[in-house]
């Protein structure tokens, strides 16, 4: 079985945003359950833990070295990789494989001084990769850096994790339309806007994707304090099987 949890459900600014006194940020300061760390996912199996993205800066405190089986990156924006800069300095002789999109620059000097991080050859979009405990298919997304979403499959379970993106490329949309998704975890950073945001979905785009792909359950993640403020008044406008991610939330 897969045990999948949302590690972080926030955008780059996280919640609460430093210096902000909006209703969502005040709530998060008063109640830690509403705090949102950098967007990331944990997949636990009997063989170990797979991290999708490494934006949390306390990964060394959360996990022992032997816990982490592999790390899978969606892209190299800092809020998705900053936790790697601490992990790499371990002096253990073993390496941790890090799977990635085809981004020659990476982030800062991670490629040059990788330490225990063993960066693998870039994923090929739509090329299914079979790990020992589940399979994963990288899917192109629409973002300002080369970014991949992932279709995670084991036995009859199908989970799509799509962040960061604004809409979906036609190729990814067509691929997922042929899948029956048990769970769709989708980037949604903004409340409804007159025009689509530049790098992330708003509620309008998220609802369009929900209606198009028809997952059994949808979870919105990469949430900003602006969306949290909107949700405080309009949560009942969302479909019943559309959930809002929370840090530490168990998906399966």
What is the reported pLDDT for 103?
A: 97
- What is the DSSP annotation of 7-68? EE-B-TT-BSPTT--SHHHHHHHH-GGG-B-B-EEEEEETTEEEEE----TTHHHH--GGGE
What is the reported pLDDT for 61?
A: 96
The conformation of residue 101, written as its DSSP 8-state character, comes to: -
Angstrom distances, CA of residue 252 to CA of 98, 105, 117, 179, 239: 24, 35, 28, 19, 20
Residue boundaries of the structural domains of the chain: 3-244
Contacts 24+ apart (CB under 8 A), 66-71: 68/96, 69/133, 70/96, 70/97, 70/98, 70/99, 70/131, 71/96, 71/97, 71/98, 71/99, 71/117
CATH class of 3-244: alpha beta
What is the reported pLDDT for 226?
A: 97
What is d(CA 159, CA 180) in angstroms, rounded to the nearest whole number? 9
Q: What is the pLDDT of residues 216-230, one digit of tens each?
A: 999 999 999 999 999
pLDDT tens for each residue of the chain, 252 residues long: 899 999 999 999 999 999 999 999 999 999 999 999 999 999 999 999 999 999 999 999 999 999 999 999 999 999 999 999 999 999 999 999 999 999 999 999 999 999 999 999 999 999 999 999 999 999 999 999 999 999 999 999 999 999 999 999 999 999 999 999 999 999 999 999 988 788 999 999 999 999 999 999 999 999 999 999 999 999 998 999 999 999 999 999
């Amino acid at each position: 079985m897969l045990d999948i949890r949302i590690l972080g459900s926030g955008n780059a600014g996280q919640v609460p945003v430093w210096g902000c006194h909006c209703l969502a940020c005040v709530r998060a300061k008063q109640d830690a359950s509403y705090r949102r760390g950098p967007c990331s996912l944990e997949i636990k199996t009997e063989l170990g833990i797979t991290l999708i993205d490494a934006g949390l800066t306390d990964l060394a405190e959360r996990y022992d070295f032997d816990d982490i089986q592999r790390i899978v990156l969606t892209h190299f924006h800092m809020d998705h990789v900053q936790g790697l800069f601490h992990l790499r300095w371990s002096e253990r002789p073993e390496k941790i494989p890090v799977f990635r999109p085809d981004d020659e620059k990476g982030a800062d000097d991670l490629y040059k001084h990788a330490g225990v991080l063993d960066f693998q050859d870039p994923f090929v979009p739509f090329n299914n990769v079979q790990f020992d405990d589940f399979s994963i298919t990288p899917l192109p997304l629409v973002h300002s850096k080369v970014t991949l979403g992932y279709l995670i499959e084991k036995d009859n379970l199908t989970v799509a994790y799509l962040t960061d993106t604004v809409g979906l490329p036609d190729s990814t949309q067509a691929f997922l339309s042929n899948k029956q998704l048990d769970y769709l975890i989708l980037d949604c950073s903004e409340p409804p806007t007159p025009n689509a945001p530049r790098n992330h979905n708003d509620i309008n785009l998220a609802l369009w994707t929900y209606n198009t792909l028809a997952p059994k359950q949808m979870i919105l993640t990469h949430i900003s304090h602006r969306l949290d403020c909107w949700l405080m008044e309009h949560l009942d406008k969302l479909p019943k099987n559309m959930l809002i991610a929370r840090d530490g939330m168990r998906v399966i």
